[in-house]
């Protein structure tokens, strides 16, 4: 199955490591360092038209990609549980 993250981005559910709320997680120094390192390594893909509300960490093979999404983590969770592919 796949999960629609916003815009035209769809990822296989098997590749998703975690979905995180930006407001709750970026208060941690470790998370900020993780995101800064990922940005320096070119692993961040911003798919948010507005301010991102969540980030999704995906891994395929040896490649890690972090998507910044304008959708809330709760919305992505509901989509994941419903097995729907709608926008």
What would the DSSP string read from start to end of 58-84?
A: EEETTEEEEEEESS-HHHHHHHHHHT-
Q: Could you give the percent of the chain with pLDDT greater than 70? A: 94
Q: Would you list the domain boundaries of the chain?
A: 2-82
- pTM of this prediction? 0.89
| pLDDT band (50, 70, 90) for residue 87 | very low
Token output for 50: 């507005």
CA-closest candidate to residue 10, choices 51, 53, 63, 65: 65
Tell me what the pLDDT averaged over the chain comes to: 91
Whose CA is closest to 57, among 30, 23, 19?
A: 19
């Amino acid at each position: 199955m796949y999960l629609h993250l916003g815009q035209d981005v769809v990822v296989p559910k098997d590749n998703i490591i975690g979905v995180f709320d930006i407001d709750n997680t970026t208060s941690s120094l470790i998370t900020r360092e993780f995101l800064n390192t990922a940005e320096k390594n070119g692993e961040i893909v911003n798919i948010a038209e507005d301010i991102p509300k969540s980030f999704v960490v995906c891994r395929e093979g040896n490649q890690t990609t972090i998507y910044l999404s304008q959708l809330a983590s709760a919305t992505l969770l509901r989509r994941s549980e419903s097995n729907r592919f709608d926008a």
